[in-house]
Amino acid sequence: MLIFEQSSKGRKAHAQSPSSMAPLDDLPAELLRETPPLMPEVSEMQAVRHYTRLSQKNFSIDTHFYPLGSCTMKYNPRACNSLAMLPGLVDRHPYAPESHSQGFLSCMHDLQEILKVVTGMKAVSLAPMAGAQGEFAGVAMIKAYHDARGDADRKEIIVPDAAHGTNPASAVMCGFKIKEIPTRDDGDIDVDALKEALGPQTAGIMLTNPSTVGVFERRIQEIASLVHEAGGLLYYDGANLNAILGKVRPGDMGFDVIHMNLHKTFSTPHGGGGPGAGPVGVSKRLEPFLPIPMVDYDGSAYRFVTADDRPQSIGRLSAFAGNAGILLRAYIYARLLGSEGMTRVAEYSTLNANYMLKKMKDAGFEAAYPERRATHEFIITLRKEAKELGVNAMDFAKRLLDYGVHAPTTYFPLLVPECFLIEPTETESIDSLDNFIEAMIKIREEAETEADMVKGAPYTLPVRRLDDVKAARELDITWSPDS
């Protein structure tokens, strides 16, 4: 039942609004609202009960194993939330003077420094509010760099065919054309195709390493040299930073600009789809173009770096200073982990993924890249099961929900048929990994004997499979009393 359908005219949460309506007699009548908006009229308890019950219809990290590849669904420490919401931090106005902001600014400055060291970049801006905005900022800096050198004919960004959809979409928003290059059967990108694609029109290349197919790009140094020799720059999509945190750094691989997804690697909440935080790091030559604001420390006080300090900046991406409260959570997480803890993130997420990969291969599932190590994630392809049993990756995914496991990422990357991209993360124990593998084995057995049952899954959730075609054709995206 919708909250609107629990409404009774005149009912209200009395404790939450002023006891009377203050006069608006100084405002011209033609500027005032004539009829109130259609909002629920419920008591405080009704609202609390309704939204508590809705929450219980979700799978989440706190309730379920959630091995969603490329999303790094690891435990979100509770301390990160409660400490970021301390009075003083949660009440600080974005335009409070620096004299009354030293606590907040010191956290931002320290986070910048930590991210610089762990990624091997020269400078960091925390401004972008999500990974996709970090990508936009990174590509905009590549454009600004070429433009500032009068090298304006570089109109093309190279993107591997396995890249996240945000990569080409972000590059297009910056006015670039996209050139795709293929991935080889062993998961590395095709360097010969890259050589052919490079030229005086190349502005740069966007890469994820470990790549979206779950393997480390072994020829990364050669790729960096080739791109640099052609006059292009290298962009690092930090989606998979969790796999290498403290083990190898994008700056050392030769990347000029990176973004980090703090909601992945630094465990800030995914919140049902945001807010994220997508800081960007750069090599020395891109430093002047970083988005504002940043935080500087002169030995005695912290202050904001603004447009006056950085005339070549690509500018501002939000009204204030990005998703500050999320950045605070990432900072708290970084202090809990410390340098050794960060290195262990990469080690144990990689251990978990390789263990799962081996056990699944032993159980007869097909690895997409069988000769390769897993990174913090890996791909299996269910093409054999789809062909022989008629039960595809989507069916496995839906049936997993009945076994109390959130499905891995399905059908991404697009170049592997019937794929599962599985990322267990370092915070899961061997028991949850074994439990997942057992569920997969059971589902395959079910598929052999009662395929139709599997194809009808899930059965134990609040709803069964939904009619997406109807949702798009008979668009119902806002409630009305007669709907």
Partner 1 sequence: MPFIPHTEEEVRQMLDAIGANSIDDLFDEIPSELRSFSLDGIPEGLPEMEVAQLMHERARKDADVHCFIGAGAYDHHIPSAVWEVATRGEFYSAYTPYQAEASQGTLQLLYEYQSMMAALMAMDVSNASLYDGASALGEAILMAIRAHRKSKSKKVLVPAGLHPSYRQAANAIVKNQNIELIEIPFDEDTGKISLTALNDYAGTDITALVIGQPNFFGVLEDVDGLTRWAEENNAMTIAVVNPLAMSILKPPGQWGNNGADIACGEGQPLGIPLSSGGPYFGFMCATQKIVRQMPGRIIGRTVDLDGKQGFSLTLQAREQHIRRSKATSNICTNQGLMVTAATIHMSLLGAEGLARAAAASHDKHRKLVSGLTAIEGVEVKFNSPVFNETAISLPVEASTVLEALAADNVLAGFDLKNDYPELGNALLVCSTEKQTGSSIDLFVDKLAALITS
Kindly identify the residues of this chain, within the stretch 297-326, that bind partner 1 according to CB under 8 A.
Answer: 307, 314-326
Q: 387 vs 430, which CB is nearer to partner 1?
A: 430
Q: 229 vs 340, which CB is nearer to partner 1?
A: 340
244: alpha, beta or left? (left if phi > 0; alpha if psi -120 to 50) = alpha
Q: 238 vs 322, which CB is nearer to partner 1?
A: 322
Q: Which member of 141, 230, 253, 290 binds partner 1 (CB under 8 A)?
A: 253
Q: Which of residues 367-386 bind partner 1 (CB under 8 A)?
A: 372-374
154 binds partner 1 (CB under 8 A): no
Q: Which member of 68, 207, 226, 386 binds partner 1 (CB under 8 A)?
A: 68
Q: 57 vs 298, which CB is nearer to partner 1?
A: 57
197 binds partner 1 (CB under 8 A): no
Residue 31 neighbours by CB under 8 Å, 6+ apart: none
Residue of 384, 389, 385 lying closest to 450 (CA atoms): 389
The torsion of the CA quartet 112, 118, 123, 127, rounded to 10 degrees, works out to -50
CB of 12 to partner 1, least distance (A): 6
CB of 7 to partner 1, least distance (A): 9
Q: How many residues in the chain?
A: 483
Q: 171 vs 194, which CB is nearer to partner 1?
A: 171
Element (H, E) at 378: strand 378-381
Q: Which of residues 121-150 bind partner 1 (CB under 8 A)?
A: 129-133, 135-136, 140, 143
Q: Which of residues 384-443 bind partner 1 (CB under 8 A)?
A: 397-398, 401, 406-407, 409, 412, 426-430
Distance CA 281, CA 117 (A): 10
φ and ψ at residue 227, rounded to 5 degrees:
-65, -45
* Tokens representing residue 355 in the block: 């263990």
76 binds partner 1 (CB under 8 A): yes
Chain Cα centroid distance, residue 32: 41
Residue 41: CA atoms inside 13 Å, Cβ hemisphere, count? 9
Q: 148 vs 471, which CB is nearer to partner 1?
A: 471
Q: 341 vs 417, which CB is nearer to partner 1?
A: 341
Number of neighbours of residue 289 by Cβ within 10 angstroms: 25
Q: 229 vs 371, which CB is nearer to partner 1?
A: 371
CB of 374 to partner 1, least distance (A): 8
Q: Which member of 181, 286, 334, 379 binds partner 1 (CB under 8 A)?
A: 334
360 binds partner 1 (CB under 8 A): no
51 binds partner 1 (CB under 8 A): yes
61 binds partner 1 (CB under 8 A): yes
335 binds partner 1 (CB under 8 A): yes
Q: Which member of 231, 275, 288, 417 binds partner 1 (CB under 8 A)?
A: 275
Whole-angstrom CA distances from 432 to 89, 267, 352, 426 are 36, 19, 10, 11
Q: Which of residues 90-119 bind partner 1 (CB under 8 A)?
A: 90-97, 99-104, 106-107, 113-114, 116-118
Q: 111 vs 230, which CB is nearer to partner 1?
A: 111
Do residues 211 and 187 touch, judged by C-beta distance below 8 A?
yes
- In order, the DSSP letters of 313-352 are ---BSSSSSSSHHHHHHHHHHHHHHHHHHHHHHHHHHHHH
Residue of 114, 122, 123 lying closest to 330 (CA atoms): 114
199 binds partner 1 (CB under 8 A): no
Q: 252 vs 309, which CB is nearer to partner 1?
A: 252
Do residues 280 and 256 touch, judged by C-beta distance below 8 A?
no
Site string for partner 1, 441-470 (x = CB under 8 A): ---------------x-x--xxxxxxxx-x
**For residue 293, cis peptide bond before it (omega within 30 degrees of 0):** yes
Residue of 290, 291, 293, 288 lying closest to 305 (CA atoms): 293
Do residues 329 and 380 touch, judged by C-beta distance below 8 A?
no
Q: 253 vs 389, which CB is nearer to partner 1?
A: 253
42 binds partner 1 (CB under 8 A): yes
Chain Cα centroid distance, residue 293: 22
Q: Which member of 15, 298, 449, 482 binds partner 1 (CB under 8 A)?
A: 15
Do residues 125 and 309 touch, judged by C-beta distance below 8 A?
no
189 binds partner 1 (CB under 8 A): no
Rounded (10°) angle between helices 430-449 and 393-402: 120
284 binds partner 1 (CB under 8 A): no
Residue 333 sits at the vertex; the CA angle it makes with 327 and 337, to the nearest 5 degrees, is: 145
Q: 388 vs 402, which CB is nearer to partner 1?
A: 402
CB of 429 to partner 1, least distance (A): 4
CB of 479 to partner 1, least distance (A): 4
Do residues 353 and 423 touch, judged by C-beta distance below 8 A?
yes
